[in-house]
Chain A
């Protein structure tokens, strides 16, 4: 079983749509969780950290369920500029341990 698994995608949605991505992780000792965005042939960039209480940043909402080892990302009112690959990322211990990446879910927002 892979450490971090995501919906494979691709997700093709019209502008203005709401889209949700799911992710599960296998290591119950994981302590920090992130969603990164990666544009084609570019480095990943932090979209948001994910907390147990859930957090929202504008049109983006992230949720974490530790009991189910499940992470989600909701994007509301999709924009063309949201088209990218979204990476679910987990870390066992924050700081000097490497991140573990999911394979990513590709989103294409269509006009």
Chain B
């Protein structure tokens, strides 16, 4: 089945530093990947839609200059949290689908738990 690899799985960083999260589709090409964030006991909230070869589309309230997304190839999208603050501590997760249609579903990366101290 479709596999999405995400790393790191866990990262602890100091306030003010930047953290890069990678998301790779291993056995399919993903022209579009989605980045979500989940706070404790909350639902997954879409942050941005990453499109290969073009600029990402950010959801309202998500700072594009703070959460930099690069989707340089059909199998790799990266999310960089710049100048991280403690309130950025969350579970970040990417998602992609191998194709259109009901039966494919969406595959998720294993998530990155970010803690900013």
Contact = CB atoms under 8 A, between A and B. Distances in A.
A98 B46 contact: yes
Interface in A72-98: 87, 94-96, 98
A44 B110 CA distance: 8
> Interface residue tally of chain A, by bracket?
20 to 34
Contact of B101 (A4, A95, A98, A100): A95
B34 interface: yes
A94 B100 contact: yes
B43 A94 contact: no
Contact of B111 (A43, A49, A87): A43
18 contacts: A32-B102, A34-B105, A34-B106, A41-B91, A41-B113, A43-B108, A43-B111, A49-B103, A51-B102, A95-B97, A95-B101, A98-B46, A98-B49, A98-B95, A99-B34, A99-B46, A101-B43, A102-B43
Interface of B: 31-32, 34, 36, 42-46, 49, 91, 93, 95, 97, 99-111, 113
Interface of A: 4, 31-32, 34, 41-46, 49, 51, 87, 94-96, 98-104
Given A4-B43, A95-B97, 19 more contacts: A34-B105, A34-B106, A41-B91, A41-B111, A42-B110, A42-B111, A43-B93, A43-B108, A46-B105, A46-B106, A49-B102, A87-B44, A95-B99, A96-B32, A96-B97, A99-B46, A101-B43, A101-B45, A102-B43
